[in-house]
Structure 1
């Protein structure tokens, strides 16, 4: 097997490691590409290709995350990871566990960790690397890595996201939610939302609108007033699908361009959190992105026209 073939075989794992460390599809893809360049130009063949590539992509990702932390601290409004529609790393026996680890809620929780804690936690607790492999990847002793993992676990357990365990139930409830949303059915929306539901928007200062709306009454008013109107007046299409391993949707304009990506946190047969990512800089990897300013202006003009 050639180096390129070995690399391509491991590419899904490398991307999945990097994405969980960085929370960015584009940065993870860049980290994987840089890993390939280092492997392709290495003077000798490593004893374990998987160990070498995993260590390389981890170190690159840690460096990128350290520089990204400054930008995220200056970010306008709530910061969400770039949405991921499909995790390329497949493990049928652990599919549900891996899906939960890539959820928006889990990735936001990982933001509490230092870059080293985050990397060690991802390698050890998500991908189950041995401590010797983790230590080699991050350039620390095994004892230090055990301490890092212990601290990371404590931080993660403090806010560990909980989801409806039955995938079929989650999908069925999400389907009912999006049907009610399209129709502006206030009563059905109330049945599906928790009393303390939150609607959180990541516009990055590029797209206006409320950043956070809390409580069933307020969230229902916002949703029922905005979404059906977008559908009827400007031809928006709500496309339900999994986003970051959880029920969600992509909202497109009449030309198929992406307006926003949504994810739903579902527990106890109710929607707990609705996250809407509208920052166009984080949507480009999914396809052509609509101009949010144009969409908003068109919607306002359409609402002023008599029906």
Structure 2
């Protein structure tokens, strides 16, 4: 490959990198695995002897195939995972398409990515390419090396599974954000009553520590129980100088817990629809936080919080 051709290939690849990462992340639910899949795609593109007529089609197909292979091997690890498995938190989706903004935002939410875990790797890939990015079935068929008819069947099955788990009411963004502000104010203050008013009756709180960080032993369900857990946890975190940095996590209202020195103690994200918080999901497994910054020692933070509570009590 000549230097000029190599430079053109690199520029083309970089222009498509946001799309490739976004495809890989939705298939894999992991920032680090998605980045590795994109890098592997570049290596294959760089060593291709002939330039494809459509770099976008070629690269999208390669990153999808790589991601399917990674997901197949990862599913065994996820089945053996300690506790609930959640995706690695994503703060910013690098790919933007105004014509598909609604699909892109919905598909990156924690709730959607958890639902995608129910699908087979092929179903997941077909759903992502078709429903999220709007690829045609002919291109999808070439990508996953199946017939168009088979891909249509995969898409139907995937859509059915996804629709079964989706909320029936989509939140108004302004209403959602206002509710989130009230929620985090009550969370910091440890206000049980204010939190209970914002929670759906069947709300659940679930955490992903992967056995490597302090976490809920089991999901907590019901407005009263969840409100009490949250009301205890918020002041406990701030007592050891953990800052709640409000931000968007996977397209939804959330916070990053920053320990002293800016270390990352975890993330928390809200599912809000029908005017209430329906689910509270936290990720504290340090293996899933490294892309956000250096993870904190949450065991030490927990011990310090308990020590202060004993002294104050």
User: For this structure pair, what is the TM-score category when the shorter chain's length is used for normalisation?
Assistant: over 0.9
**Which residue matches 1:213?**
220
Matched, 1:236 2:239: no
Q: Classify the secondary structure of the residue corresponding to 1:96.
A: helix
**Which residue matches 1:281?**
287
Q: Classify the secondary structure of the residue corresponding to 2:294.
A: coil
Q: Aligned to 1:147, which of 132, 146, 153? A: 153
**Which residue matches 1:225?**
232
| Length, aligned pairs only | 306
Asked if the contact 1:239–1:250 (Cα under 8 Å) also holds between the matched residues in 2, the reply is yes
**Which residue matches 2:50?**
44
**Which residue matches 1:249?**
255
Q: 1:6 to 1:163 in 2, by over 3 A?
A: farther
Displacement, 1:243?
A: 0.4
**Which residue matches 1:8?**
14
For residues 127-186 of structure 1, give each alpha carbon's deviation from its aligned partner in whole angstroms, at most 9, with x where no partner exists.
000111101111111111111111111111211245643111111110110011111122
CA distance in 2, matches of 1:120, 1:196: 32
Displacement, 1:220?
A: 1.2
Q: Classify the secondary structure of the residue corresponding to 2:186.
A: helix
Asked if the contact 1:164–1:269 (Cα under 8 Å) also holds between the matched residues in 2, the reply is no
CA distance in 1, matches of 2:171, 2:229: 29
Matches within 5 A, 1:26-41: 26-41=32-47
Structure 1 segments of 4+ aligned residues over 6 angstroms from their partners: none
Displacement, 1:293?
A: 1.3
Matched, 1:172 2:178: yes
Q: Aligned to 1:23, which of 15, 22, 29? A: 29
Unaligned runs of 5+ in 1: none
For residues 36-95 of structure 1, give each alpha carbon's deviation from its aligned partner in whole angstroms, at most 9, with x where no partner exists.
010011000011100100000000000000000000000011100001001001012332
Q: Classify the secondary structure of the residue corresponding to 2:260.
A: coil
| RMSD of Structure 2 on Structure 1 (CA) | 1.3
**Which residue matches 1:262?**
268
Q: 1:254 to 1:162 in 2, by over 3 A?
A: farther
Displacement, 1:297?
A: 1.3
Matched, 1:75 2:81: yes
Matched, 1:99 2:115: no
**Which residue matches 1:202?**
208
CA distance in 1, matches of 2:31, 2:115: 18
**Which residue matches 1:186?**
192
Asked if the contact 1:106–1:161 (Cα under 8 Å) also holds between the matched residues in 2, the reply is no
CA distance in 2, matches of 1:19, 1:2: 26
